[in-house]
Amino acid sequence: MLFATSDRMMDHMKNTIKSEWEATDMGQPSKIIGIEITFTDDTVIISQQKYIENLLKKECMADANSVAMPMDPHIQLLPNSEDNETNRSNSYAKLIGELQYIANCTCPDISYLAGTTTLGIFYKSQDKTADDDNLFHGYSDAAYANNNDLKSTSVYIYKAAGGAIMWKSKKQTIIVLSSTEAEYVALAEAG
């Protein structure tokens, strides 16, 4: 797949590739590795509706009701004890991998899959008259000492053309003493 900011640049890339290798121009893609791609004149939308629907069907959850809160917020989850070794070759581990694929590609919040199968990431061409010349925008935040071990959680997202291109949430490796310090660590991790 090739991406370019102009038709002239796209033609140049295609000609360069064809001068070195045998290649076929298959036009704009509509689907690649389970990601559906929809083009209009000034937008691109990526989604995984069929992939998610097939996964929900396979897990007998195709008729699940969408809820605003997927789990009781008062339930405390505890880590697996060290003497209880996990089996990584089971269907649960496979499901975790499938859900991680969805979360990494088009749907960072997989808590509400049954009610959001038609949603995706929307990219729109930039307004040429806009005052903001930045191609990328990044945002970071931290939840101070929100884990049992008092470590904070960092989150960040990078956007381009109005849509997310990269995101991450992770527990910080150190214990910080303030929300300001947690924010600083999150910003440093976002790069």
How much is the pTM? 0.75
What does the pLDDT look like over 37-89, one tens digit per residue?
Answer: 999 988 999 999 999 999 999 999 999 888 877 778 788 877 767 666 666 66
What does the pLDDT look like over 128-186, one tens digit per residue?
Answer: 656 667 788 999 999 999 988 999 999 999 999 899 999 999 999 999 999 999 999 99
DSSP letters, 51-94, are HHHHHHHHTT-TTPPP-SSSS-TTPPP-PPPTTS---SSSHHHH
Burial of 152 (0-12, 13-18, 19+ CB in 10 A): buried
pLDDT, position 5: 78
Q: Are 158 and 149 in contact (CB under 8 A)?
A: no
pLDDT, position 65: 85
Mean pLDDT computed over 107-115 = 84
Which pLDDT band, with edges at 50, 70 and 90, does 112 fall under? Answer: confident
- 19: how many CB neighbours lie within 10 A of its CB? 8
pLDDT, position 127: 67
pLDDT, position 150: 93
What does the pLDDT look like over 11-46, one tens digit per residue?
Answer: 999 999 999 999 999 988 999 999 999 999 889 999
